[in-house]
Amino acid sequence: MTAQQARQGRFAARWHDRRANRGARRAARLAARIAWRRGFYAGYVPWYGAVYWPYAYNDLFFYTFWPYAYEDGFWAYAYDDFFDGIFFPYGSPYSSYTYVGPYDGVTTGRRTSRTSARASVPGQVSQKMQQLCSQAGSGVTAWPFDRIEKSVDPTSEQRELLEDLRRAAAEAADRFKAACPEHIPLTPTGRLQAMTERLQATLDAVKLVRPPLEKFYQTLSDEQQARFNAIGPTIGKNRRQAAQDDAKADCGGDKTGLTAVPIERIEDAINPTGEQTARLEKLSAAIETSVLILEKACPDYVPQTPVGRLEAMQQRLEGMIEAANTLRPPLKDFYASLNSEQKARFNQLGRETARSGD
C-alpha cells in the first residue's frame, strides 16, 4: 500500500490537506471553550498521556448544544484515532494530520517529549494527567444552566425539571471521574481496554442525562425551544449547511487506510509464524467488521435540536463500544500467541515511522 492510498483510506481523508497545511494541530489540543475564546473551532483530542479522550465530557455535551463550533470532521477524526490508538501508540504512519499518540510526553524516542506530562515512573500516570482526569467532569457540571434559565424563562414546573437535569449532570460527572486510569496502558490489548472503559463511562453519562434533558425540552414552547437552541458561542453559528455536508462525508467510502495498514505494519514488525498468521487473519477480518460497525453508527446529518444530537452521539458511542468488543477477542488471541520479542515490537508499533511520511 502506498502512502497516498493509506492517507485516503480513512474517515477523515478529505480533511488531510487542511490539517496538514494549517496550525490547527496546536489549537486542537485545547478544550472547546478555550479554543472558542481564541477564535478556533474545537477539535477532537484522542489522548493526553494515559487519558483517552481527555475532553470527553466537554465535547459530548458542548457538541450537543453547539455542533457548529467544532471543526470539520470532528467525528471522522474520532473514528480514525480509535484505531490508531490501539495499534499505533506513537501516531499512525502515513497520516501526518493525526494527533499524537498516548505516549506523547510519557516516553522518550525520536520525537521530543513533553516534560510537563511525563510520569516519573514508567507506566505511572503523572500528576498533571491525574488532575486533568479528575476535572474532566467539569464539562458536565459547567453546563450553562444559568444561561438556559435566563434564555427560556422557565415556568415553575420547567424550573423543577431543569433542576432534575442539573442533578443528573452532577451525578454523571461523579461517576465519570471514577473511570480515570491509574496506569498508562503499555500494550495494544491494554490500550483497547482503557479506551473501552472510557467510552462506556461516557455512554453511561449520556444515558443518565438524556432522559431529564428530553423531559425538560419537551415542556418548552416553540419560542422557548428556539431560544434554547440559540445558546452558545458566536463562532460557527453560520456553518449549518457546511456541517450537514461534512456529516455526510464522514460515513462510507474506502477505508483501506484503517483496515490494511495495521496488518501490514504488524506483519513487517513481528514476522508471524504460520499459526500466528492464521490468528492475524482473524484480527484483520475483525478490523474490517469494526469499520463497518462505525460506518453504520455514523449519522449522515446533524440533528437540529440538542435532544436529537445527544441521541446521535449515543449511537456513535454505542458503535465505538461495539467495534471495540468486536476487536478484543481476536486481538487478545493474536497477542497471546506472540513471544516476548514479538510483543515488545508490537507494543511500540509505528514508533520510528509516525508522521514521517515513510
- Dihedral angle of Cα 101, 103, 105, 109, to the nearest 10 degrees: -100
Residue 185 pLDDT grade (very low, low, confident, very high; cuts 50, 70, 90): confident
pLDDT at 119 over 60: no
pTM of the model: 0.86
Give the range among 19-33, 93-107, 324-338 with minimum mean pLDDT. 93-107
d(CA 192, CA 283): 14
Q: Which amino acid is at 313?
A: M
Give the model confidence (pLDDT) of 332-345 as tens digits. 999 999 999 999 99
Residue 80 near residue 11, CB atoms below 8 Å: yes
> Structural domain boundaries of the chain?
3-347
Q: Which amino acid is at 353?
A: T
Residue 139 near residue 58, CB atoms below 8 Å: yes
**Comparing 220 with 119, which gets the higher pLDDT?**
220
For the record, the C-alpha cell of 55 comes out as: 475532553
Q: Which amino acid is at 330?
A: P
Residue 223 CB-half CA count within 13 A: 4
Residue 331 near residue 85, CB atoms below 8 Å: no
- Between the two ends of the chain, the Cα-to-Cα distance in Å is 11
Residue bearing cell 434564555: 151
Hey, is 114 helix, strand or coil? coil
Residue 262 near residue 87, CB atoms below 8 Å: yes
